[in-house]
Structure 1
Amino acid sequence: MNHTISRRTAIATLGALGATAVFAQQQRPATVRLGYQKSSTLIALLKVQGTLEKQLAPLNVTLSWHEFTSGLPLLEALNLDNLDISADVADTVPVFAQAAGAELTFLAQEAPSPAAQAIVVRDESPLKTVADLKGKKVGFAKAAGAHYLLIAALEKAGLSFKDIEPAYLTPADGRAAFEKGAIDAWVVWDPFLAAAQRQSKVRILADGAGIASYQRYYLASTKFAKARPDVLRVVYAELEKTGKWVKQNPKEAAALLSPVWGLDAPTIEQANSRRSYAVRPVAAGGLAEQQRIADAFFAEKLLPRKINALNVALFNPGA
């Protein structure tokens, strides 16, 4: 009898200890790793205001911030499990990540902003049209939205990617190469585009109007999305709210971003005027251009394999 009681007591004690351990694990602060780049406007505003930290505190979550030069290395880090959430990247970038086998969940989408990226030349350049780029050296960031804009613009002008000499450059390196004449044209996005327009004499050969809609996506690793949908719901809500605030308060937003970006407020206002910042859930039907992008890169032998760009996980913020 005593042995039975002892066994029951031991089992109950072990159960209590197990429950305590689970509870303690749930209470232990979790660190969420968030990656972003300079053009991640909404995330930059949330960071400078400390908004996400405040909203995630009740979930016992802290944030670690990681800045990247462009979207491709950002999603590579997500694929390698070095990040949990990615701030907005251009529509081209997930295509490359999917081709590399990344398991991505699309958290949110910004409505199109076709004028927020462009192909530019120096004002004194003899190049007048996209067709004049044949045989010329063009700088841009690999797998960025600018990369697809260039491919689409060349196709529209009757050229292919093989007709130009590509120079894969980060925005900072691209600006330096452009200004010293090491490249004939530069394809870039805001706020780098606005900075070049205001600080240098440049001409736009083409932007994305009628060529590339330039939608930006926020993503998470699928593993993290399954484990912490509560965190993603908070992030989505704050992105949506901040997107509306930027459009309603352009001067205040520019003033907040100016010291963070190292750009004057008027330049930031110009850049922000071309971005929609209309954050919305990603619907399967809203990914049609992703497949066109994937097919265009594969046709130019720039994507290692053909992919189904629609075969992705979508986050439902209302679930």
Structure 2
Amino acid sequence: MLPVGLLLAACGGPSAADAGGSVDGKGDVTLNVGDQKGGYEAILRAAGELKDLDYRIKWSTFTSGPPLLEAMNAKAVDIGGVGNTPPVFAAGAGSKIVVVGASHGSAAGEAIVVPKDSPLKRPADLKGRSVAVAQGSSAHFQLVASLKKAGLGIGDVKLKYLQPADALAAFSRGKVDAWAIWDPYTSQVLRTADARVLTTGEGVVNGLGFQVASPSALKDPAKSKAIGDLLERLRRAQDWVFAHPEEWAKVWSKDTGLPYEIALDSVKRSQGTRVPVAVDAAAVASEQEIADTFAELKLIPGKFAFEDFVDPRFNGRLPASSTAPRTYGKATVR
């Protein structure tokens, strides 16, 4: 069984946010950055990208994307990073958010896991079974898409909307038949629990992650300039992670409490594969598909145009969103 305390360390603790984090840089401008444990602050610091800032950063740590975007809607956060589904739920609810950056990575860490001794062998076997998933998370759409590919609908399974810590407890105690999850939780459960992968998001989901900003911050010239600089630093930091997977895994392990081997698994499986890409028409179309899917399921109020929540001003010369994720050669992970 995976210790609950370890999972809590990895997802940032039981609260929605830990506010008032460290402040980096100097100057009159303060950028309020929403983060997740072992996220942007850790990557930027490890890559040396928090040096020589001419603005200040105040960090707030959240357990997942949805509460981060809720804080952004309340103007408590200027910019933060999330997966491919939280912006859809936030935009569908009319939240004040703007997608300003993107990255494309492997979807191998987006997985539906089952106990090793489970009779379930393929996604179609989930019919009538209970599945734990965090509502509005990237895993939520991966579950919907995987079921659709198997000829099933979301009504064919018994959904249990649970955040990771509660889902882990339910999964470990046999209270649910399967768990739809994302890395590093995928790497954790495969290393430390009697679990195996039923299916992954490869070929099913878009593998995109986004940087999302507050409209009010973008309208402030000084904050907008700081956001552009932070995005450039994040892109360089992502390049550094791919070039230094073992070094980053050590830093990430220390920051999150994850054992080193789990952190390295996650880096090589998904987290270190990310490529900075443009928020282009293809990315918008892919997100529109997610939005339309959840609208049809009546999980968001109604249909809307995802492009209305996108600002491409920071795209620069970034490659297309369809650019292939990085890979670590023939390296394999459990």
Fold shared, TM-score > 0.5 on shorter chain: yes
Q: 1:171 to 1:50 in 2, by over 3 A?
A: farther
Q: 1:48 to 1:242 in 2, by over 3 A?
A: closer
Q: 1:256-291 CA distances to partner (integer Å, 9 max, x unpaired)?
A: 111111111221111111222211231233221101
Residue 82 of structure 1, aligned match among 76, 80, 84:
76
1:129 equivalent in alignment to 2:126 = no
Contact 1:69–1:171 (8 Å) recurs in 2: no
Query: What pairs up with 1:281-296 in 2 under 5 angstroms?
Result: 281-296=278-293
1:171 aligns with 164
Give the AA of the match of 2:286: E
Contact 1:32–1:63 (8 Å) recurs in 2: yes
- Bigger CA drift: 186-195 or 27-36? 27-36
Q: 1:184-203 CA distances to partner (integer Å, 9 max, x unpaired)?
A: 10011111110111111211
Q: 1:77 to 1:265 in 2, by over 3 A?
A: same
1:68 equivalent in alignment to 2:62 = yes
Residue 302 of structure 1, aligned match among 256, 277, 299:
299
Give the AA of the match of 2:65: G
DSSP 3-state at the match of 1:135: coil
Query: What pairs up with 1:84-99 in 2 under 5 angstroms?
Result: 84-87=78-81, 89-99=82-92
2:227 aligns with 232
Q: How many corresponding residue pairs?
A: 287
DSSP 3-state at the match of 1:311: helix
Deviation at 1:51, TM superposition (A): 3.6
1:198 aligns with 191
1:154 aligns with 147
1:259 equivalent in alignment to 2:257 = no
2:98 aligns with 105
1:216 aligns with 209
Contact 1:131–1:159 (8 Å) recurs in 2: yes
Contact 1:113–1:214 (8 Å) recurs in 2: yes
Contact 2:38–2:252 (8 Å) recurs in 1: no
Give the AA of the match of 2:185: F
C-alpha distance in 1, partners of 2:115/2:62?
27
Q: 1:39 to 1:45 in 2, by over 3 A?
A: closer
Deviation at 1:154, TM superposition (A): 0.8
Q: 1:50 to 1:81 in 2, by over 3 A?
A: farther
Q: 1:15-57 CA distances to partner (integer Å, 9 max, x unpaired)?
A: xxxxxxxxxxxx97333211112363x44322567743x343x
C-alpha distance in 1, partners of 2:160/2:275?
32
Segments of 4+ in structure 1 off by > 4 A? 47-50
C-alpha distance in 1, partners of 2:244/2:46?
16
5+ unaligned residues in a row in structure 1: which ranges? 1-26
DSSP 3-state at the match of 2:307: coil
Q: Percent identity?
A: 36
2:276 aligns with 279
Q: 1:47 to 1:78 in 2, by over 3 A?
A: farther
What is the RMSD of the two structures over their aligned residues, measured on CA atoms? 1.9
Q: 1:160-205 CA distances to partner (integer Å, 9 max, x unpaired)?
A: 1111111111112211211111111001111111011111121111
Contact 1:39–1:190 (8 Å) recurs in 2: no
DSSP 3-state at the match of 2:108: helix
C-alpha distance in 2, partners of 1:136/1:34?
39
C-alpha distance in 1, partners of 2:242/2:268?
8
Contact 1:105–1:315 (8 Å) recurs in 2: no
Residue 116 of structure 1, aligned match among 109, 128, 139:
109
C-alpha distance in 2, partners of 1:55/1:166?
48
Task: Indicate the structure (1 or 2) with the bigger Cα radius of gyration.
Answer: 1
DSSP 3-state at the match of 2:207: coil
- Bigger CA drift: 212-221 or 96-105? 96-105
